[in-house]
C-alpha cells in the first residue's frame, strides 16, 4: 500500500478518537489560515534545498526534534499546500519527503499502525535496559506518584505548546518488548519531556529549574497502544502494572522519591502560571501566540538556513487585515471522511477558511 | 441503580463520589479531594483540580482528549462525550462512575 494511504488510514483512525471541541485554547480552524500556506511554501523550498545540497536524511532529521513532532505538523502542512501555487505533484512530494525523514528516525512502523512508536533499535533497547539502574521494588504509592508526575508534565506540555502541538516538547516511545532481557511480558516505555522550559516562548519560565524529565518505566501484563499522534491507551492500570522505573531530571538520576511530590508541585505551579497567562489573553493574543508556537517548533530548521525563526510580519498583517476567525464553540468539526480528503494531497478538497 | 448518563469509556475503574460541576475557572477552587469533576471539557488550566478528583465526567471529548489522557495516567475513572453531563448532573449529587463501561449511575433511593 502507498505510504500516503497508510498515513491517511492512521491519521483518520486517531482523529476518530479526538474531538475538535476539546482543542485548547482555540480551535485549529481559528488560526490555520493565517500561516499554513506560508509554511507549506517555505518547507517545500527547504526540502528541495536539502536535496540540491545533498543533505543526508540523518542530518535533516535532526532539525525536526522527534518523529511525533513531524507527524503533528504534517496535517496542517498538507492542507496549507492546497492554498499555495504548488503543483499537485509538488504537493504530493512534500509529505513523502517527511515520510523519508520518519523512516530515518524510526525503527518501527512510522505511522504507529501496530500500536507502537518505536524509535530505538533492538540493540539500543538492550543496551539501555542493561545499563539502567532500575528501581525495581516498586510500591503502589510510588508508582502512583510517578504517573501523577507524568500527568502533570503532559498537562504542562499542553499548556506550553497548546493542543494540538504538545509534541513540540515531549515524545512517548515504546512499548518496547523486553521480555527476552528481563521477565515474561515486560515492556519498556519512555516518556521524554525534552523541552518543558521554552523560555523564548514563555519568559515566565526563566527561573524554572526543570529543563528535561525522562521517565523510563517497565510494565508487565499490560497492553499499551500508541497511535500516530503519540496518544496512549492501555487495558490495565499503569500504576499497578509498574515493575520498575527510573527518573532523569535535567540529565541526572532523580532517586529521592520523597522529593517527588515537591517536583510535581513545581511543575503544577508553572503550568498554572502559564495557563493563567493564556486565559487572560485576548483572542488576538491567543491567535498570535498559537502561531508563535508553531514557528518556535521549527526554529532548528530555520536556524540551519540562517533565518530568524520568529513568525513573519505577514502573519500579523493578515490577522489585522482579515480579522479574527470565529468558529462557534459548539460547532461540530469536519466529518472523518472530510478530514481524510483534506489531508490527502492528491485530493483538491480543502477546508473553507 | 439508575443510569443517569452514558458516554465513551475513557479510563477504567468504578468509584462513588460527590459531583462538582466546573463551569468556569473560579469553580476549580471548589474541587476537594475525592470529588467527581464534571465539566463540558477539561483543559490544562484544570490540572490541579483534576489531580484532586476521584473521577472525571465530561460532555465532550473522545478517548484521546485531554480528560481521557490525564485520567488514564492518574488511574482514575473517566467517561467522556456524554453530551449532557453538565445539565443532567447537579452539584452535590452522589453518583457512581463506571469508567470501564462509560456509565454514570445513581443509587436507587
Taking CB atoms and an 8 Å limit, are B43 and A158 in contact across chains? yes
Q: What is the pLDDT of residue B93?
A: 97
The pLDDT of residue A163: 87
How high is the pLDDT of residue B108? 79
Which of A155, A162, A165, A293 to mutate against chain B (most B CBs within 10 Å)? A155
Chain B nearest-CA residue for A330? B60
Mean pLDDT of A348-352: 86
Question: Is the model's pLDDT at B109 over the cut of 80?
Answer: no
pLDDT in tens, A40-79: 999 999 999 999 999 999 999 999 999 999 999 999 999 9
Q: Can you give the pLDDT at residue A353?
A: 63
Interchain proximity A159–B63, CB inside 8 Å:
no
Nearest CA in chain B to A265: B48
What was the ipTM of the complex prediction?
0.94
Is B41 near chain A, with CB under 8 Å? yes
A313-333 average pLDDT score:
89
Q: What residues are paired with B79 via a beta bridge?
A: B9, B57
| pLDDT tens profile A9-34 | 999 999 888 876 678 899 999 999 99
Pairs of residues, one from chain A and one from chain B, whose beta carbons lie less than 8 Å apart: 98
Asked if the model's pLDDT at residue A311 lies above 80, the reply is: yes
Predicted confidence at residue A333, as pLDDT, reads 78
Give the H or E element holding residue A96. helix A88-105
Question: Which of B25, B41, B64 comes nearest A21 by C-beta?
Answer: B41
Nearest to A74 by CA among A30, A29, A31, A39: A39
Chain B residues whose beta carbon lies within 8 Å of the beta carbon of residue A150: 73
| Residue A18 confidence (pLDDT) | 80
Burial of A48 (0-12, 13-18, 19+ CB in 10 A): middle
pLDDT of residue A305: 97
Mean pLDDT, chain A, as a whole number?
A: 95
Nearest CA in chain B to A331: B60
Cα gap A263→A272, rounded to integer Å: 14
Active-site option among B37, B38, B66, B102 = B66
pLDDT band, very low/low/confident/very high, at A260 (cuts 50, 70, 90): very high
DSSP β-bridge partners for residue A246: A216
Number of Cβ within a 10 Å radius of residue A188 = 22
Spatial separation of the C-alpha atoms in residues A72 and A158, rounded to whole Å:
13
Distance CA A206, CA A196 (A): 11
For cell 536556524, the residue is: A303
Interface touch B62/A22, C-beta < 8 Å: yes
Helix B66-74, helix A140-161: angle, nearest 10: 160
Pairing verdict, β A252-253 and A213-220: unpaired
From the centroid of its chain, how far is CA B94?
A: 12
Question: Phi and psi for A24 in degrees, rounded to 5?
Answer: -140, 140
> Which 3 state secondary structure label does DSSP give A213?
strand
**Cβ pair A22:B51 closer than 8 A:** no
Task: Pick left, alpha or beta for residue B92 (phi over 0 → left; psi -120 to 50 → alpha; otherwise beta).
Answer: left
User: Any residues with CB less than 8 A from the CB of B8 and at least 6 apart, and which?
Assistant: B61, B62, B63, B68, B79, B80, B81, B102
Task: Report the alpha-carbon angle B101-B107-B109, nearest 5.
Answer: 160
Chain A residues bordering chain B (beta-carbon distance below 8 Å)? 14, 16-19, 21-22, 24-25, 144, 147-148, 150-152, 154-156, 158-159, 163, 227, 229, 231-234, 236-240, 268, 271-272, 275-276, 278-279
User: What's the whole-model pTM score?
Assistant: 0.96
Point out which residues pair with A94 in neighbouring strands: none
Closest CA to A329 of B48, B19, B59: B59
B66 catalytic per annotation: yes
> What is the distance, to the nearest Å, from the Cα of residue B25 to the centroid of all Cα atoms in its chain?
16
Q: How many whole angstroms separate alpha carbon A207 and alpha carbon A216?
A: 26
Q: What percent of chain A has pLDDT over 70?
A: 99
In the predicted model, is pLDDT for residue A298 greater than 90?
yes
How far apart CA B92 and CA A165 sit, in angstroms, is: 36
Mean pLDDT along residues A315-335: 88
* Nearest residue, CB atoms, A155 vs list B13, B60, B70: B70
CB under 8 Å to A33, separation ≥6 — which residues? A83, A318, A322, A325, A353
Please report which residue ranges of chain B form alpha helices under DSSP H: 47-50, 66-74, 85-88
Identify the CA nearest to B97 among candidates B27, B1, B23, B32: B1
In tens, the pLDDT along A117-163 reads: 999 999 999 999 999 999 998 999 999 999 999 999 999 999 999 98
Contact B54, B35 (CB under 8 A): yes
Predicted confidence (pLDDT) per residue in B32-90, tens digit: 999 999 999 999 999 999 999 999 999 999 999 999 999 999 999 999 999 999 999 99
Residue pLDDT, tens place only, A181-202? 999 999 999 999 999 999 999 9
Amino acid at each position: 500500500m502507498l505510504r500516503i494511504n497508510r498515513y491517511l488510514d492512521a491519521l483518520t483512525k486517531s482523529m476518530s478518537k479526538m474531538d475538535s471541541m476539546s482543542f485548547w485554547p482555540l480551535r485549529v480552524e481559528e488560526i490555520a489560515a493565517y500561516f499554513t500556506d506560508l509554511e507549506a511554501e517555505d518547507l517545500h523550498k527547504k526540502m528541495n534545498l536539502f536535496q540540491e545540497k545533498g543533505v543526508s536524511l540523518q542530518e535533516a532529521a535532526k532539525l525536526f526534534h522527534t518523529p511525533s513532532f513531524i507527524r503533528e505538523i504534517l496535517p496542517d502542512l498538507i492542507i496549507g499546500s492546497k492554498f499555495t501555487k504548488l503543483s499537485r505533484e509538488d504537493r504530493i512530494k512534500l509529505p513523502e519527503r517527511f515520510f523519508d525523514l520518519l523512516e530515518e528516525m524510526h525503527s518501527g512502523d512510522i505511522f504507529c499502525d501496530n500500536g507502537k512508536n518505536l524509535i530505538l533499535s533492538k540493540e539500543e533497547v538492550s543496551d539501555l535496559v542493561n545499563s539502567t539502574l532500575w528501581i525495581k521494588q516498586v510500591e503502589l504509592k510510588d508508582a502512583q506518584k510517578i504517573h501523577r508526575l507524568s500527568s502533570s508534565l503532559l498537562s504542562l506540555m499542553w499548556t506550553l505548546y497548546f493542543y494540538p502541538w504538545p509534541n513540540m516538547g515531549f515524545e512517548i516511545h515504546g512499548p518496547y518488548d523486553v521480555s527476552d532481557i528481563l521477565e515474561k511480558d515486560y515492556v519498556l516505555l519512555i516518556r521524554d519531556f525534552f523541552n518543558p522550559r521554552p523560555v523564548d516562548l514563555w519568559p515566565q519560565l526563566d527561573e524554572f529549574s526543570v529543563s528535561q524529565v525522562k521517565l523510563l518505566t517497565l510494565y508487565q501484563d499490560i497492553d499499551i497502544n500508541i497511535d500516530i499522534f503519540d496518544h496512549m491507551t492501555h487495558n490495565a492500570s499503569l500504576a499497578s502494572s509498574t515493575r520498575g522505573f527510573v527518573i532523569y531530571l535535567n540529565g541526572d538520576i532523580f532517586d529521592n522519591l520523597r522529593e517527588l511530590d515537591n517536583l510535581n508541585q513545581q511543575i503544577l505551579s508553572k503550568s498554572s502560571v502559564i495557563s493563567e497567562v493564556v486565559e487572560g489573553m485576548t483572542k488576538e493574543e491567543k491567535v498570535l501566540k498559537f502561531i508563535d508556537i508553531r514557528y518556535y517548533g521549527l526554529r532548528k530548521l530555520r536556524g540551519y538556513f540562517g533565518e530568524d525563526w520568529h513568525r513573519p510580519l505577514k502573519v500579523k498583517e493578515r490577522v489585522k487585515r482579515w480579522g479574527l476567525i470565529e468558529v462557534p464553540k459548539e460547532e461540530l468539526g469536519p466529518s472523518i471522511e472530510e478530514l481524510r480528503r483534506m489531508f490527502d494531497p492528491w485530493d483538491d478538497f480543502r477546508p473553507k477558511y | 441503580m439508575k443510569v443517569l448518563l452514558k458516554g465513551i469509556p475513557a479510563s477504567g475503574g468504578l468509584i462513588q463520589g460527590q459531583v462538582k460541576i466546573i463551569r468556569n475557572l473560579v469553580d476549580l477552587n471548589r474541587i476537594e479531594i475525592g470529588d467527581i469533576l464534571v465539566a463540558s471539557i477539561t483543559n490544562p488550566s484544570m490540572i490541579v483540580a483534576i489531580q484532586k478528583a476521584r473521577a472525571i465526567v465530561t460532555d465532550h471529548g473522545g478517548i484521546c482528549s485531554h480528560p481521557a489522557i490525564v485520567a488514564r495516567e492518574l488511574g482514575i475513572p473517566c467517561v467522556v462525550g456524554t453530551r449532557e453531563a453538565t445539565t443532567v448532573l447537579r452539584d452535590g449529587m452522589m453518583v457512581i462512575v463506571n469508567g470501564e463501561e462509560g456509565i454514570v449511575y445513581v443509587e436507587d433511593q
